[in-house]
Structure 1
Amino acid sequence: MTVIDANRMHEIETRYPEYFHRSFRQRFGGLMILIATLLYSLYAVWFFDLPKLFAEAHWELVGIYLSQWVSYDVQPEFRIGDDGSIDIRYPRFSPLGDNPHPDWLVNNPDGSITVSISGTGGSVTVSKSETIVTAHGVSVPVEVSSGAPKVVGPVPGWMTVYDDNVLADLGFAGNVSISVDRVKIRKRFIGWANFIFDTQSSFFDKPVGEVVGLIVSGPRIKPDQSNLSLAFDDIWNNSEWQHGDVWTKLFQTIVMAFLGTLLGSLTAFPLAFLAARNITPNRLLNQVLKRFFDFLRSVDMLIWALFLTRAFGPGPLAGSGAIFLTETGTLGKLYSEGLENIDNKPREGIKSTGAQTVLVHRYGIMPQIVPVFVSQTLYQWESNVRGATIIGAVGAGGIGLKLWEAMRTNANWENVAYMVILILIVVFIFDAASNALRHRLMGTKAH
């Protein structure tokens, strides 16, 4: 066991003062950061009134909207005449087409009509005097022969009685609205209705095998057009899903992002040489250009898009211009900072040979900065594919505008899901391509 005397201890303290005489910040810095974070979190909870916000939020709408992303509904309406007849009607643009005969609707011998409800193990039977709703193992008769619908027996929790209407909420399966002269059923199905062919197509409601047979070797449906061409036209011009318009707008978004990023990089590149202190020793010019870059990037892309749509009208030109202005500021700052951090030795070596300024830049600077500049530009391009979607919602063109139009109706959530999935696929593809190119340029392996 080694014993250290007082002189030796004093010598060690003198040699390593940072370990024996730590400042207040070094000793309590971590604890102070933790306390500050906790205090700020409490302030944020109070400032945004988060307890009230969570308590008053309509969480039930989340489930409704998510269910509509992956499903569709059919809404048959049964109108009861004075003579006891029951007339079945569907909305004008029903997923079942103009002449629906669904197998889940059965005409009974006594004149009543039964609709099976999937997911609840029940059904709805409509007759001239009463409607019987069977769900969750319970059958509830509702009389409709008097002045107002009347529930016979106890009212279950999933049924609500109003003055002139009885509403049966069947959850994801749908709902039933019962009044004296009509019964309206909303029946929900998993999937996307008519995603390939709409109700106006010659191939609508045909089995897959029959469609393939018609396309490959069947007789022509239209004498002046092949079945393959007709099928493609019907898919591309699907009136419900609008595949052609959606894909065109998606391509428009990609072009907007590419054009805006390309023009921004081409503009920022020469300006960055003028803004870099070690390349252009003019402090006034350096500061003016750097503040110009700050101005361009401090105004958000969405704000630029709003300005430009007022100037040039809605369309992809405004979107490309907004990306161009934002990227000129962003890439100009990144490029100039990259130039200021280069190794000056290669540049000075070439300069000492008496080479012209252009050659000094070409051989002393460019080999150092090109991989970094390309990497930064590719990252911004990838980011702008997402940004172009957002600015499209304010009229700058692309799929963002199409997405916003579908969301505003509050009824086409399956179309919203379709476009969101397309956007995600494009972002994933561009992310993978951008990463691969960056790693290839930087000489590293992608993980």
Structure 2
Amino acid sequence: MTTLSMTDRRAIGDRHPELLAGSWRKRLIGWAVGVGIVAYLAFAWWFFSVGAVLAAGNWGIAGTYLADWVSHEVRPQIDFRDDRLDVSYPRFSSYRADRHPEWLSFGEPVATAAAPAANKTSAGSVTARIGRRDTIEITPSNVVVTRGTETLAVAVVPEKSISVEGELPAWATQKAPGEKITVDFGFAGSAQIDADDVKIRHRFLGWENFFFDANSPFWGMSFSQVTGLMVSDERIDPKMSNLALAWDNVVNNAEWQHGDVWLKLAQTIVMAFVGTLFASLLAFPLAFMAARNITRNRLVNQVTKRFFDFLRSVDMLIWALFFTRAFGPGPIAGIAAIFFTDTGTFGKLYSEAIENIDDKQREGMRSVGASPASVQRYGVVPQVLPVLVSQSLYFWESNTRSATIIGAVGAGGIGLKLWEAMRTNSDWENVAYMVLLILIVVFIFDNISTALRHRLIGKKASD
């Protein structure tokens, strides 16, 4: 193979300039496209203020939310009184007046003229051990926070003011003098100190009370203890066996609401299946009307296609809002939203598949005197059926995810439960649980649809 020198290349270019003109034009077009893409990205960065959004983002809160997916918090609240401290816990908490976490200790009980509420414990002092070297010591007149080798002392005038003795350490923040102080212990949790109370949030890895809530007789028991009670003849509740009682406690868990979550997940699955099925059944005959090679009437073609465009142009979420107003919140609105949107999408996809068939099979059917219905049944359907089945199965799988989104606007299903858990801003472990269930369902449906494609249209069509 002979290699041309640069002099030879220039000589050839001088004799035949038309050979090199095309390559220069292609290079110029390539550079122009590249510069255009860079200019567009720069414009988008400026127009949407991406830099300012990233700079103003509260990444610390984002990290806390992610941590909440795989952990839980115990949240005691210590209220200041003139001569005592009242300790209470949120609703559905595992802890109460007769049950406290081991990392929380109390001073001598305080005798009061008015007894505290049934869900509160009164004491002269409270000590919270957040870590090996991190503690919060609380009395009615001061709070001392120790983190490592540093100490923060806060003087408290109950229900009036707080003041800091010395400078705030780096792990404590206060927006203005006299306002609440937030103390950060990293992943272990945080605390808010105010003139009215101290709110402690101590974080632990894992999902608390996933099987049995604090009201269950099985709460706090080990797996072997629960198993032993299930097979025991001695009943905890005379009305039912221990096995039935344990299952009832799991399903009706007040914190995780397994029964309601599973019911809403089943509603989501039904919404996706029924909506997709009805859309497929309606779009199939309409697609023959929209296909130009089947229906020769141009008016019918255009009216049918514009009907499909109308159904597709309105997003599924908008249809869900409309039907929620029409039928009220519930799965009927979700089914209708999926049905309307997918009818338009299926109609377009089906009609295009029919228009791209090989007409030789139809001509062969006509040549033997087959009726018009038989021509379509044996000349068209066998050609398009693999494509239609594959598209329908894909949308069935996809609509399971879409049904979750439209459920958040009131169309029923697990989407509504997911939105409720996110709105509380404190139940992110419940959000993680429901997201995990949705992922499992999508994974199962993906495998089911693949198996159906293998069975109905063959391995080659599904690969």
Output the TM-score relative to the length of structure 2. 0.86
Q: CA deviation at 1:435?
A: 2.9
Contact 1:76 1:90 in 2 (8 A): yes
Contact 2:142 2:154 in 1 (8 A): yes
Contact 2:68 2:428 in 1 (8 A): yes
Q: Distance in 1 between matches of 2:304 and 2:410?
A: 31
Tell me the residue number matched to 2:405.
390
Task: Work out which of the residue numbers 172, 194, 201 in structure 2 matches 1:186.
Answer: 201
Task: Work out which of the residue numbers 114, 122, 132 in structure 1 matches 2:127.
Answer: 114
The 1:32/1:434 distance shift into structure 2, 3 A limit, reads: farther
Contact 1:97 1:199 in 2 (8 A): no
Q: Secondary structure at the match of 1:262?
A: helix
Tell me the residue number matched to 2:449.
434
Moved more, 147-156 or 308-317: 147-156
Moved more, 60-69 or 232-241: 60-69
Amino acid at match of 1:425: I
Task: Work out which of the residue numbers 191, 211, 220 in structure 1 matches 2:226.
Answer: 211
Tell me the residue number matched to 2:275.
260
Tell me the residue number matched to 1:94.
93
Q: Secondary structure at the match of 1:444?
A: helix
Moved more, 209-218 or 257-266: 209-218
Q: Distance in 1 between matches of 2:56 and 2:73?
A: 29
Q: Secondary structure at the match of 1:167?
A: strand
* Alignment root-mean-square deviation, CA: 2.9
Q: Distance in 2 between matches of 1:179 and 1:137?
A: 23
Q: Secondary structure at the match of 1:192?
A: coil
Contact 2:74 2:203 in 1 (8 A): yes
Q: Distance in 1 between matches of 2:297 and 2:23?
A: 42
The one-character-per-residue Cα deviations of 1:398-420 (angstroms, maximum 9, x if unpaired) are 11111112222222222111111
Q: Secondary structure at the match of 1:22?
A: helix
The 1:396/1:24 distance shift into structure 2, 3 A limit, reads: farther
The 1:166/1:324 distance shift into structure 2, 3 A limit, reads: closer
Q: Distance in 2 between matches of 1:58 and 1:97?
A: 34
Q: CA deviation at 1:209?
A: 1.6
Q: CA deviation at 1:26?
A: 4.4
Q: Distance in 1 between matches of 2:434 and 2:100?
A: 31
Q: Counterparts of 1:65-214 in structure 2 under 5 Å?
A: 65-79=65-79, 81-83=81-83, 85-97=84-96, 99-107=98-106, 112-118=125-131, 121-127=133-139, 130-144=142-156, 148-160=161-173, 162-163=177-178, 165-179=180-194, 182-214=197-229
Contact 1:148 1:165 in 2 (8 A): no
Tell me the residue number matched to 2:60.
60
Unmatched segments (≥5 aa) in structure 2: 5-11, 110-123
The 1:131/1:29 distance shift into structure 2, 3 A limit, reads: same
Task: Work out which of the residue numbers 288, 312, 319 in structure 2 matches 1:297.
Answer: 312
Moved more, 100-109 or 220-229: 100-109
Q: Secondary structure at the match of 1:99?
A: coil
Are 1:269 and 2:284 counterparts?
yes
The 1:135/1:218 distance shift into structure 2, 3 A limit, reads: farther
Q: Counterparts of 1:400-415 in structure 2 under 5 Å?
A: 400-415=415-430
Q: CA deviation at 1:91?
A: 3.0
Amino acid at match of 2:65: Y
Q: Secondary structure at the match of 2:225?
A: helix
Q: Distance in 2 between matches of 1:179 and 1:47?
A: 42
Identity percentage of aligned residues: 56
Contact 1:98 1:199 in 2 (8 A): no
Amino acid at match of 2:55: A
Q: CA deviation at 1:445?
A: 8.1
Moved more, 19-28 or 189-198: 19-28
Q: Distance in 1 between matches of 2:50 and 2:374?
A: 61
Contact 1:117 1:123 in 2 (8 A): yes
Tell me the residue number matched to 1:238.
253
Q: Distance in 1 between matches of 2:290 and 2:23?
A: 40
The 1:190/1:232 distance shift into structure 2, 3 A limit, reads: same
Amino acid at match of 1:206: M
The 1:24/1:276 distance shift into structure 2, 3 A limit, reads: farther
Moved more, 175-184 or 430-439: 175-184
Unmatched segments (≥5 aa) in structure 1: none
The 1:21/1:443 distance shift into structure 2, 3 A limit, reads: farther
Amino acid at match of 2:361: P
